[in-house]
Amino acid sequence: MRRDLALQVLARTIHSRDIVVAVYQALFDWLALGPRELDYVSTGAMGQASSHGLGLALASPGRRVLVFDGDGSLLMNLGALATIADASPPNLWHFVFANGTYEVNGAHPLPAAGRVDFAAIALACGYRSTYRFNELSEFELQLANILDQQGPLLVELKVEPGEFFPRNYPYIHSAKARERFRTALNRN
């Protein structure tokens, strides 16, 4: 499935109070679909999306926190899966966009690309449940049911790049982006 189309499906289910933590190409695609005040974009180091999402889920128990992670990014910090499972935040949904490459860093192949089973690893670490999708139509059919469940929950999406969206690094690393998020988070 194309990543941008999967993100469009997710965009139709996001509420204004939901926090979205997205990294790298998923983030750039997500921002192109329409930036939101509660998009947490201050993730400058690969592998940190799930850890940042955990902190936000624990600090904001009345909000849904959706992490849009890449397989390369998660591979950099697999230990976060055990930490998330141990904390067991019911308001955390972890989406892993798996394309087998470090896409924004030159599309270099991941070690063990195609063999790493993130859903199985998350389940073994103690996530409440996991899902894996190869087809957009099946993901779209199941998404409402997935979001009705308690987290932590991981959804592994086998994706390929879709439409190319500009990589706006100055914005995602800007004080403006952090202040916009902080203001929106503290407003409620």
pLDDT value of residue 39 = 87
Q: What is the mean pLDDT of the segment spanning 26-55?
A: 81
Strand partners, 53: none
Separation between Cα atoms, residue 74 and residue 130, nearest integer Å: 15
- Global model pTM greater than 0.75: yes
- Choose the CATH number for 3-187 among 3.40.50.970, 2.60.40.10, 2.170.150.70, 3.40.640.10: 3.40.50.970
Instruction: From 50, 42, 23, select the one nearest 174 (Cα to Cα).
Output: 42
Residues 154-170 have pLDDT tens digits of 999 998 865 666 766 66
Closest CA to 13 of 133, 139, 129: 139
User: Over the stretch 103-148, which tens digit does the pLDDT of each residue have?
Assistant: 555 555 656 667 789 999 999 999 999 999 999 999 999 999 999 9
Q: What is the pLDDT of residue 68?
A: 92
Query: What's the whole-number mean pLDDT along residues 164-180?
Result: 72
Domain ranges of the chain: 3-187
